[in-house]
A and B are shown apart, each in its own frame.
Chain A
Amino acid sequence: MNAASILHPVLAVALAPLLPGAINRTKAFFAGRRGPPLLQAYFDLWKLFRKGATYSRTTTWIFRAGPIVNFACLLAALALVPLGRVPAPLAFAGDFILLAYLLGLGRFFTVVAALDTGSSFEGMGASREVQFATFAEPALLVGLAALARQAQDLSLSATYAGLSAAVWSHALPLLALVAVGFFVLFLAENCRIPVDDPNTHLELTMIHEVMVLDHGGVDFGFVQWAASLKLWVLGALVVGLFPPGPLGCPLADLAAGVGGLLVLAIATGAVESSLARIRLLRVPQLLVGAGVLCALGLLLTFR
């Protein structure tokens, strides 16, 4: 652990809203539009955090706790995730299990907060969210198991620190399979196209957006910020698979990691611009496909 490890979570909280900005700029570029400013997410947060609130009479304290618990879970998750060659501030055997279950706790509270409104739209979104998570969670853990077996270590930081050009050259199929699997999971868990469309305006077709329909003001600020943190956390798992050569300086490693995340955001924007959303009934197949890729990677380690 070094100064960069401590700096990473702080930087992540500060810079995460850049990621949706970068995705939207890329989409605007592909569509030939000017698009919103890169810092639009910051302007939104600034506006939301100065607002009052409007609550449905149906809701209880669960609805108010949901965004906060989700945000707290993602903050805790940031302390466990390495970014490229920068190890996480906390690393121990089985830290990725905690990571997966922290994301699970955040999801649980988002879902029950949605059900708290009594709206059938939000119930529908909650139902879809838990369904997709059921397929995504095994895929994530199987992919991590493949990486752990490859590195013969059970902490995320050590697993990712061991990845280098030499490892890529002799374990290319494994890492490529897991990288594709994780990229699909990254898109699905962050509700991007082809699973969910963050720009849709029809409640019936939304997943994540519809679960937070009734949140406003400060609460919605936490929701939006948490969403960009989730992009960061899961993005770090993808970006970390592609380490640059040894840079020597921890701060340079950190900068390279942040750069990698921005590249990932641009890639996400490109995917969103070039693909259509798939039918909801096909989403489980996509996620199972990602799981199968990760499982194939795991099987390769049993040679």
Chain B
Amino acid sequence: MPLEGVYLFGCVGGALVLLLGSGVGALLLGRRASRAANALGVGGAVMASAAGLAAALAALGLRFEKTATLPWSFPYGSFALGLDPLSAFFLIPTFLLCGLAAIYAVGYFRPWNGRNPGRFWLFYNALVASMALVLLARNGVLFLVAWEAMALTSFFLVIHDDAAAGVREAGWTYLVASHVGMAFLLALFFLLGRAGGSQDFAAFAAPAGSAGGLFLLALVGFGTKAGLVPFHVWLPEAHPAAPSPVSAVMSGVMIKTGIYGILRTLALVGSVPAWCAWLVLGLGVASGVYGVLFALAQRDLKRLLAYSSVENVGIVAIGVGLGLLGVCYGLPAVAALGFAGGMLHVLNHAAFKGLLFLGAGAVVHATGTRDVERLGGLLKRLPWTGAAFLAGAIAICGLPPFNGFAGEFLIYLGSFRALLASGGAGLGGVAAVVALALIGGLAIACFARAFGIVFLGEPRTAEAERGHETCATMRGPMVALAAICLALGLGAGAAVRMMEPAVAMLVGSAGAPAGAVSISWLFPVSGAAFALLVGGGALAGLRRWLLAGRPVRETVTWDCGYAAPTARMQYTAAGFAQPLTHGAEVLLRPQVESRLPEGIFPLAAAFRSETEDAARKRLFDPLFRVTANWLGRLRWLQQGRVHRYVLYVVATLVALLGWALRR
């Protein structure tokens, strides 16, 4: 193998071995020496992330592309690995965020309260390894094994706090959703492999005329992991239940393996019919609007962030849908802009959503509550966390000078390019523009609310009053992610330059001319970001100069002369969002319980509203109830007597034997 191959697979293989080794080591050490186990776990994760990043950056920067097959086979599969631009691009956020979240976890879980930290590190490091393996696998069976390992390790991380009934319930939902999605992937890989005669990706072939059907299987299977509406139901349950560093990794990078899967399927099946492009665009628009509306209605900070992940996956899907639309209608610039924007948003979302979940974790750590209505005034108590959370909030709203704007700008530009075209593609562009503008406005409302109610004003409860800044191991990763968000906003062109080959692969895979990606699209974005920073700094200097030597006093907030204002009189999160959630009541259907003030001297009054997920309540709950009823008729099979089960086993074996003999 040539030298660069040795380097790449040395780094990646080393990272995988390091992750698994340190995880198992931490578990074994954990009972007796929890400090050593912690050090081993985090050390392994950080070192493996550094090695993996080195490989991925080298592969992208130096345009290496390598495949390797280890001399180790298992039934129907081979240990085929590959590092191409698409895999390398997705590996970057994976290793970056996982490394930083591991450092954060050290401070977050301290003092462990007598639990074995090895259990966490085993599953965490195995999750990182399985995500990397999903991105590297070049064999269907290997891919599915890694996919399943990813689902199971993240399941065990979600139920980390398994003493709480809600957490166990969320874990179940997640486990079921993962496996329903998995069923579709099994069918997909079975069909692809049968036509090609082997489960190696290189041999995969889509039977003539079946590309659309195969893509549909991939869209349901991978869309479930990505959190596209209506397959997102597990996401708002599992992400708040998981410990915050795990939520950050799941929301920031794990759900992106679903996007990777969709893009990989595209590269495998070749061209898809135009209705697939419309379907992806439609799901993207639906997920974006649905996600941000539900995010606006949440009072649990982490649940809000989970719904916002649905929204952002929707934005990514709008980009991918535009890319497909461009390919189908022969508009290479639209295709390149759509794919590039979608992928850039994947990277950006990993940075700012990771940051926001870590920030939410710091808030939970400091106050013990996730309920935004019980918080307030935390910027004074957690200045670093607050500033980092603000950076994440600005970035996730897609506002300059942070990175969120760069990705959305490319997708917008792609939609406007499509809009200039005549006919069908033009209408697709209109849909994307309207959806992006609506999502943008609602996201500003959502995150002005999240940041404003949690971090500004006066503390609403004693818990918030007692809040304290977090330790350095938690602060460091948040500040680093905020810096990454700003750097990616200033240097978005460099990121686009890096993913050029990956985009060319996606655009070119369907027969359109490659090389349509241009970093010059993003020069104005970077320029505007610099100008804002410089201009803002200059104005701050001007303000300071104007105020120099003048009297600056402190007093109370203007209260209209009211004598005894209290913190509870502040505007609430529910009140802030009410005009918008009221307008979207058809979709949100909040359950409201209220006791209105009565009489001339009213005493007690109460108001409570809760917004359950519409897809869960109206689609999946009835569906699963019907399924459970049907399957309940088979319950007589389960008797709980061992000899009955032995009989089943024997009968199955005999049947299989007969089937094998007949062939």
Instruction: Tell me the smallest distance from the CB of B585 to a CB of chain A, in Å.
Output: 13
CA distance A56 to B570 in the complex (A): 14
Contacts A145-B416, A214-B558; A98 near B535 (Cβ below 8 A): no
| Listed stretches B2-10, B156-164, B344-352, B540-548; interface member | B540-548
Contacts A92-B524, A115-B453, A118-B456; A108 near B558 (Cβ below 8 A): no
A154 an interface residue at 8 Å Cβ cutoff? yes
B-contacting residues, A66-92, CB 8 Å: 68-69, 71-73, 75-76, 79, 90, 92
Asked whether, in the complex, the Cβ of B379 is within 8 Å of the Cβ of A53, the reply is no
Choose among B380, B398, B445, B531 the residue with the greatest number of A CB atoms under 10 Å from its CB: B445
B569 an interface residue at 8 Å Cβ cutoff? yes
A232 an interface residue at 8 Å Cβ cutoff? no
Instruction: Tell me the smallest distance from the CB of B284 to a CB of chain A, in Å.
Output: 16
| Listed stretches B14-22, B367-375, B574-582; interface member | B574-582
- Say whether chain B's binding surface is mostly helix, strand, loop, or mixed: helix
| Listed stretches A20-28, A35-43, A126-134, A190-198; interface member | A126-134
Q: How many B residues are at the interface, by size bracket?
A: 35 or more
CA distance A37 to B515 in the complex (A): 60
Instruction: Tell me the smallest distance from the CB of B425 to a CB of chain A, in Å.
Output: 12
B431-450 near A? 1/0 per residue, CB < 8 Å: 00110011011101101110
Asked whether, in the complex, the Cβ of B560 is within 8 Å of the Cβ of A126, the reply is no
> Taking CB as reference atom, which chain B residue is nearest A111?
B448
Instruction: Tell me the smallest distance from the CB of A144 to a CB of chain B, in Å.
Output: 9
> Taking CB as reference atom, which chain A residue is nearest B409?
A97
> Taking CB as reference atom, which chain A residue is nearest B560?
A203
A222 an interface residue at 8 Å Cβ cutoff? yes
B458 an interface residue at 8 Å Cβ cutoff? yes
B113 an interface residue at 8 Å Cβ cutoff? no
User: Which of A50, A116, A124 contacts B457, CB < 8 Å?
Assistant: A116
Asked whether, in the complex, the Cβ of A52 is within 8 Å of the Cβ of B399, the reply is no
Choose among A75, A92, A112, A133 the residue with the greatest number of B CB atoms under 10 Å from its CB: A112
CA distance A203 to B558 in the complex (A): 11
User: Which of A52, A59, A90, A135 contacts B553, CB < 8 Å?
Assistant: A52
Contacts A76-B535, A98-B400, A137-B441; A219 near B559 (Cβ below 8 A): no
B627 an interface residue at 8 Å Cβ cutoff? no
B394 an interface residue at 8 Å Cβ cutoff? yes
Choose among A64, A71, A120, A213 the residue with the greatest number of B CB atoms under 10 Å from its CB: A120
Asked whether, in the complex, the Cβ of A126 is within 8 Å of the Cβ of B452, the reply is yes
B550 an interface residue at 8 Å Cβ cutoff? yes
Instruction: Tell me the smallest distance from the CB of B442 to a CB of chain A, in Å.
Output: 6
Which chain B residues border A68 with CB–CB below 8 Å? 536, 539-540, 543
B-contacting residues, A98-152, CB 8 Å: 98, 100-102, 104-105, 107-108, 111-112, 115-124, 126-128, 130-131, 133-138, 140-142, 145, 148-149, 152
> Taking CB as reference atom, which chain A residue is nearest B398?
A101
User: Which of A62, A71, A134, A145 contacts B456, CB < 8 Å?
Assistant: A62
Contacts A68-B536, A148-B420, A149-B419; A131 near B558 (Cβ below 8 A): no
User: Which of B434, B452, B531, B553 contacts A142, CB < 8 Å?
Assistant: B434
B405 an interface residue at 8 Å Cβ cutoff? yes
Which chain A residues border B447 with CB–CB below 8 Å? 108
Asked whether, in the complex, the Cβ of B571 is within 8 Å of the Cβ of A123, the reply is yes
CA distance A35 to B313 in the complex (A): 54
Which chain A residues border B559 with CB–CB below 8 Å? 119
B567-599 near A? 1/0 per residue, CB < 8 Å: 101110001111110010000000000000000
Which chain B residues border A180 with CB–CB below 8 Å? none
Asked whether, in the complex, the Cβ of A56 is within 8 Å of the Cβ of B571, the reply is no
Instruction: Tell me the smallest distance from the CB of A63 to a CB of chain B, in Å.
Output: 8
Asked whether, in the complex, the Cβ of B556 is within 8 Å of the Cβ of A57, the reply is yes
Contacts A76-B532, A102-B528, A284-B583; A60 near B456 (Cβ below 8 A): yes
Choose among B440, B458, B578 the residue with the greatest number of A CB atoms under 10 Å from its CB: B440
B451 an interface residue at 8 Å Cβ cutoff? yes
B638 an interface residue at 8 Å Cβ cutoff? no
Instruction: Tell me the smallest distance from the CB of B374 to a CB of chain A, in Å.
Output: 15
Instruction: Tell me the smallest distance from the CB of A154 to a CB of chain B, in Å.
Output: 5
> Taking CB as reference atom, which chain B residue is nearest A118?
B457
Instruction: Tell me the smallest distance from the CB of B272 to a CB of chain A, in Å.
Output: 26
Knowing that A90-B524, A101-B408, A118-B458 are A-B contacts, what are 15 other residue pairs whose CB atoms are under 8 Å apart, sorted by A's residue number? A52-B553, A56-B557, A58-B556, A62-B379, A97-B412, A101-B440, A111-B448, A115-B456, A116-B452, A120-B569, A128-B579, A137-B437, A140-B437, A141-B434, A145-B419
List 12 A-B residue pairs with CB atoms under 8 Å apart, sorted by A's residue number.
A59-B557, A64-B543, A104-B397, A117-B457, A117-B557, A120-B569, A127-B575, A127-B579, A130-B445, A133-B441, A134-B441, A138-B441
